[in-house]
Structure 1
Amino acid sequence: MEALLGAGPARSGRSRVVDDDALDFDAWVTARGPALLRLAYTLTGSRTDAEDVVQDALARALPRWDRIARFEHPEAYVRRMVVNAHTSRWRRWRRRETPHAEVVLPGVVDGPDTAMPVDEVRAVWAACAALPTDQRVAVVLRYYEQLEYREIAALTGVAEGTVRSRVSRGLATLRTSMEVDVDE
């Protein structure tokens, strides 16, 4: 829990309770909702599923918001809720077939700029969406959300070594699939 609350750009390594008045939930969702939606989209590969995952997480956060808002980094807590909601949803529906449609990127990406053409970006996202769920989650959290391995381990509830393995295997699969696409 301590690693979750200390996550974020200005992390101190310890959880602290913020003394100021609790943040207004609606204002916080308005400000941070798009980032949560982008995270969920990168995890699910589907805008509809991403919206459902974020809605589930926010519905669970609302009754606890007075307590969550007192922490120094409430976004880290809610981000964990989004990852957990995605995992629960995936477990519930993992046997169900999901057709892969053309990948459409939602909105402006809040992250590092990319010099890749749009077609290449779409190809990378399509290849990422084809990864097994555990590998996709690890790769997205590591490279899109730029989290450390220990933070990913805390978010996903697995050992750090398992996270490293999933990221390594996911990257190997992405490299292979991207090489095949380039050669065709």
Structure 2
Amino acid sequence: MTEFDTFARRELDGLLRYATVLTGDPDLARDLVQDVMVKAFRRWSLVSAADNQRAYVRTMVTRAFLSWRRSWAVRHVVLPFDELPEGPPTGDHAGAIAERDDALQRLRGLPRRQRSVLVLRYFERLTDNEIAEVLGCSPVTVRGYASRALATLRADPHPDFAVTSSIKEHS
């Protein structure tokens, strides 16, 4: 097994979860991560020389997400019934599923850089300096993106929205 294979086995699930939150679509996330892993394999000498290979590849995922053509995203239709709960029902999960779908929909409505900042901050738990490095901008710009994104999410008429609640807890 090569060093890349070991890296891919160790990091793939986490990269897929990150990309799914970032894109709001598990299929698109798989495509995004697959494209990035091909690039990472081709550039493995650069990736393996990095101090933090996971952060390096996560940055590749983020930048690939930010650079994908809008026209493809506009043509892509997400069907809400793609993800059904696994296993036998243990109660009524309709409220939790509706909140999750609402959260993903509202995140999808944000501009890509704002969405990236929130996902990197609250899902990946990166600092503003680390986010700035991933996005190739300054920490002040990161805080501006975050501020505008949070203002947009908080302005929504759904006060019990799950992401808004968790964001308020972290603020």
Shorter-chain TM-score tier: 0.7 to 0.9
Counterparts of 1:81-120 in structure 2, within 5 Å, are 81-90=60-69, 93=72, 96-102=74-80, 117-120=96-99
Tell me the CA shift for residue 118 of structure 1: 4.5
Q: What's the CA shift for 1:91? A: 5.4
- Residues 1-184 of structure 1: pairs in structure 2 closer than 5 A: 24-90=3-69, 93=72, 96-102=74-80, 117-177=96-156, 179=158
Please give the per-residue CA displacement for 1:70-102, whole angstroms capped at 9, x wherever unaligned: 4442111111111111122145746x3444542
Residue identity over aligned pairs, in percent, reads 35
State the alpha-carbon separation in 1 of the partners of residues 59 and 82 from structure 2: 25
Please report the TM-score for the alignment, with normalisation by the length of structure 2. Answer: 0.74
Q: CA RMSD in A?
A: 2.8
Cα shift readout 1:44-92 (whole Å, capped 9, x = no counterpart): 1111211111111111111222442244421111111111111221457
Q: Is the alpha carbon distance of 1:103 and 1:169 closer, same or farther for their aligned partners in structure 2, counting shifts above 3 Å?
A: farther
* Separation of aligned partners in 1, 2:84 and 2:126: 21
Unaligned runs of 5+ residues in structure 1 are 1-22, 108-115
Q: Which has the higher helix share?
A: 2
Identify unmatched segments of 5+ residues in structure 2. 86-94, 162-171
CA offset at residue 158 of structure 1?
Answer: 1.7
Task: Rate the CA distance shift 1:73–1:128 in 2: closer, same or farther, 3 A.
Answer: same
